[in-house]
């Protein structure tokens, strides 16, 4: 029992750290925040199909990333909650072929534009913000996330120490 808890805690911490590093990297190109964003770190939201430890790891990683990249308090809260909701949805749909990619796309496409509009005062139409954020999420999760899934799938039992 203790071994499993330590493993899950370590997995969550590693996922959080990788999320932060990837967000920081893409932030250097101005793509981590704003109306047009492609957070490559969001590709990690497919990881709950491999381990439930990814759920808190993604939440903490997003929370820290939002704080460290200078997001406003409500963005830190609601942006991180969007990632948490998406990660939980991914875990619940983990046995599907593709549908597991949709919860983080949907959660972020709905929540993030409302944050951009109401917290940052962007004057773009909400539908436009949903379109731009949604496209970024599709690129990050449905494209990059699926590439990541394919790369990890063959070695998932070794990497995530799950039962076959």
Note down the domain range covering 45.
2-160
Within 8 A by CB and 6+ apart from 79, the residues are 62, 66, 71, 111, 112, 115
Task: Write out the two tokens for 65.
Answer: 């990333």
**pLDDT (tens digit, 9 = 90+) per residue, 5-63?**
888 999 999 999 999 999 988 888 876 666 677 889 999 999 999 999 999 999 999 99
**pLDDT (tens digit, 9 = 90+) per residue, 142-161?**
999 999 999 999 998 888 87
d(CA 145, CA 104): 11
CA distances from 158 to 50, 130, 161 (A): 11, 38, 5
How many folded domains does the chain comprise?
A: 1
pLDDT band at 164 (very low <50, low <70, confident <90, very high): very low
Average pLDDT of span 121-126: 90
d(CA 42, CA 62): 9
Task: Write out the two tokens for 136.
Answer: 């970024």
CATH code (residue 135): 1.10.1760
């Amino acid at each position: 029992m203790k071994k499993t808890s330590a493993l899950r805690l370590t997995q969550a911490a590693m996922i959080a750290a990788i999320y932060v590093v990837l967000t920081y990297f893409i932030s250097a190109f101005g793509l981590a925040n704003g109306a047009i964003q492609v957070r490559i770190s969001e590709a990690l939201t497919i990881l709950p199909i491999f381990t439930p430890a990814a759920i808190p790891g993604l939440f903490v990683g997003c929370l820290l990333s939002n704080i460290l990249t200078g997001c406003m308090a409500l963005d830190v809260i609601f942006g991180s909650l969007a990632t948490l909701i998406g990660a939980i949805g991914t875990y619940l749909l983990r046995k599907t072929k593709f549908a597991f990619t949709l919860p983080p796309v949907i959660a972020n496409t709905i929540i993030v534009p409302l944050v951009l509009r109401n917290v940052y005062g962007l004057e773009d139409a909400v539908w436009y913000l949903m379109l731009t954020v949604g496209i970024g999420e599709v690129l990050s999760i449905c494209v990059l996330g699926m590439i990541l899934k394919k790369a990890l799938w063959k070695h998932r039992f070794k990497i995530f120490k799950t039962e076959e």
